[in-house]
Amino acid sequence: MGIILYMEGQFMTWLTLTMAVLIACAHIFTKSMRFIRTNPRSWVLSAAGGISVAYVFIHIMPELERNQKVLNQGLPKILNYFEYHIYLIAMIGLVLFYSLEWLVKTKAQSDGAFWVHMGSFFFYNLLIGYLLQDRMDDGISNVLLFTVAMTLHFMVNDHSLRSSHKESYDRKGRWILAVAVLCGWALGLVRHVDKSVTASIFAFLAGGILLNVLKEELPKEQNSRISPFLLGVACFSILLLALASLD
């Protein structure tokens, strides 16, 4: 029995490492994908945006509701008068990432703006890498869906960051963000926290993901490709709903 558990643990470790590498590769190799063009918007980016939107509203939002129960069990009674703690944390995540984005946009050409952007996305990617271990607790299908959604999400983020910072991002930024995912995975491997803390991390990250979905992944009117966007939303929504019905 002990050997079986050990082998299962090793399998899970290697599987989540593989998933972390795949997500990190979105930053490293998107630059070489010639079919991802700026204008008109690539159908890949539009479809990726649709998939991320579906993941946010079909998977993340219901999970926030489930995490509310976990959070209620782990918080001091003095905070019980907050009926929806988890949504407050998600809102804080959205507001914080929006504020950092605003700061970067107002000083877009400065070297400091580049490092602020890299610092915020390093933290963002670190949390995503860390949560890979937590996703595994809910089954392999859960971590696979998370990996697909985050890889496509990172492709869109990567495209946007490259547009903002150009050579600086290609020389330094993409490698920093790829390493952040692997650092998060390693941290999740050696450091396990209480479920209420993990629920809070996921909620905070959900706010950041939601902001980036609205900011980058909904196609802009002047270069939108609505068909692949809608196809991405529809196909991934059907997949998520089908898997949820099997649980």
> How confident is the model over 172-231, as pLDDT tens digits?
999 999 999 999 999 988 877 777 788 888 888 888 888 887 776 565 554 667 788 889
| 130 contacts 180 by C-beta, under 8 angstroms | no
Give the closest residue to 83 by CA, choosing from 74, 72, 95, 99: 72
Q: Of the spans 38-47, 99-108, 123-132, which averages the highest pLDDT?
A: 123-132
Least confident of 23-27, 128-132, 133-137, 151-155: 133-137
* Distance between CA atoms of residues 48 and 24, nearest Å: 16
What pLDDT, on a 0 to 100 scale, did the predictor assign at position 222? Answer: 46
Q: What does the domain layout of the chain look like in residue ranges?
A: 42-246
Instruction: Flag whether pLDDT at 33 surpasses 90.
Output: no
What pLDDT, on a 0 to 100 scale, did the predictor assign at position 177? Answer: 94
Give the closest residue to 209 by CA, choosing from 144, 132, 152: 152
The rounded mean pLDDT for the chain is 81
What pLDDT, on a 0 to 100 scale, did the predictor assign at position 22? Answer: 93
Based on C-alpha coordinates, what's the Rg of the chain?
18
- The residue type found at 178 is A
* Distance between CA atoms of residues 73 and 70, nearest Å: 5
User: 166: pLDDT confidence band, cut at 50, 70 and 90?
Assistant: confident
User: 60: pLDDT confidence band, cut at 50, 70 and 90?
Assistant: confident
Least confident of 96-100, 185-189, 225-229, 232-236: 225-229
* Distance between CA atoms of residues 140 and 91, nearest Å: 29
